[in-house]
Amino acid sequence: MSYKLIALFQFLLALSGCSQSGTTISHRIQSNDESLDSTIHIQDGVARFECVDSSSGQCQYTLYPDACSGKPDCKLAPLQRFGVARGESRQLAGVVKFHPCVTTTTATLGADCKPVTTH
């Protein structure tokens, strides 16, 4: 069954009042040279990524499969990479189980949410 079909089914259930509770994930970074405030809300098969504030003007998201959560040596490829401008949001349907990494830069992040170094 495709993710879009699942998301559509969950959306129709939500319209009829059969809604699952949502999950909210917040990321905040505050240092001398970097600040970031991001919220991800997941409900009924739809994930909404909101870049509240970012010192670079963008929140950069890398989504890894949920199986990578807590595994710094995870070799699975990211599900998606994208940026959202400060004050904007983006919605994705069908992305339910993922491990998000959020940063202010376009650096490639590994599953541990740290920049990937090349030798």
Q: Are 56 and 103 in contact (CB under 8 A)?
A: no
pLDDT digits (tens, 9 = 90+) for 21-62: 789 999 998 988 889 999 999 998 899 999 999 999 999 999
Amino acid at 12: L
Give the residue with greater pLDDT, 88 vs 15.
88
Q: 16 Cβ partners below 8 Å, 6+ apart?
A: none
Can you give the pLDDT at residue 56?
Answer: 96
Statement: the pTM of the whole predicted model exceeds 0.95: no
Q: What is the overall mean pLDDT for the chain?
A: 85
pLDDT grade for 96, boundaries at 50, 70 and 90 = confident
Domain ranges of the chain: 3-103
